[in-house]
Structure 1
Amino acid sequence: MNDSKKILVGEDSSIILNLTKSILSFENYQMKAAKNGKQVLEMLEKENFDLILMDLNMPVLDGATCTKMIRSLSDETKSKLPIIAITGNMGNFTMDEFRRLGFDDFIQKPLDYDKLLATVKKFLS
């Protein structure tokens, strides 16, 4: 893979961030991390990304609200970015509910190495 894809990860858990970074680096993906939804929006304003992994439960600005704000951006490239929800409470949502919130897909915590890579590759290949 000569053109390294950039992934923005909105996640407040350092453990999940480190695990995600090590998984994604094996596939030569670049990763930037934000600890809350406000930081996700600030980073998205300054840089372009190919995909966003978004935790639902973050301080300051939660993942669902942040995703809705991204979907309403005037920059069409950024508003249409694939956004994958990361949640430990997947049982609380159906896929239709995730889509209504603006997510393209979801990954259950604890993170499964193969599922994470397969889901990311589905949107970036």
Structure 2
Amino acid sequence: MKKVIIAEDSSVIQNLTKKILQVQSFNISSVKNGEDVLKLLNGDHFDLILMDINMPKMDGMECAKQIRALADPIKSSIPILAITGNAKNYSIEDFKEVGINEYIPKPLNFDLLVEKVKKYTESE
């Protein structure tokens, strides 16, 4: 079973996303900020990170940067999908610069979300 981290400070979005992905047979861990993402990664292996850009303590951009800087080559290359309601503030180049693979705009289109999650977690 593929393991996905959902980093999202909105409980509503977090719970909806979690339910939808669990139906698709993903194992979900959810956290509310970037610091907790790094803690989870420290202790376990994951296949994908869904990351809200605007979170307390550490935002998605900074968290992505820190993940890409990890010493473990497997952990530092985990696909990261940004979820954001204000992509206007960032360009796709900004996301790529910090190591985010793709972004999904809010309000979330869950069909698109599932499609992207599957794309990045299907075995090569």
Q: TM-score per shorter chain, which class?
A: over 0.9
Q: Give 1:102 shift.
A: 1.1
Structure 1: state its 5+ residue gaps.
none
Aligned residues: 122
Aligned residue for 1:42? 39
Q: Distance in 2 between matches of 1:94 and 1:39?
A: 25
**Aligned partner of 1:6 among 3, 20, 26:** 3
Distance 2:92 2:19 in 1: 27
Query: Pairwise mapping of residues 1-125 of structure 1 onto structure 2 (< 5 A)?
Result: 4-125=1-122
Aligned-residue CA RMSD (Å):
0.8
Q: CA deviation at 1:96?
A: 2.0
TM-score, L = length of structure 1: 0.94
The Cα of 1:50 is off from its aligned counterpart by: 0.3
Shift of 1:92: 2.4
Q: Distance in 2 between matches of 1:86 and 1:102?
A: 14
Amino-acid identity (%): 48
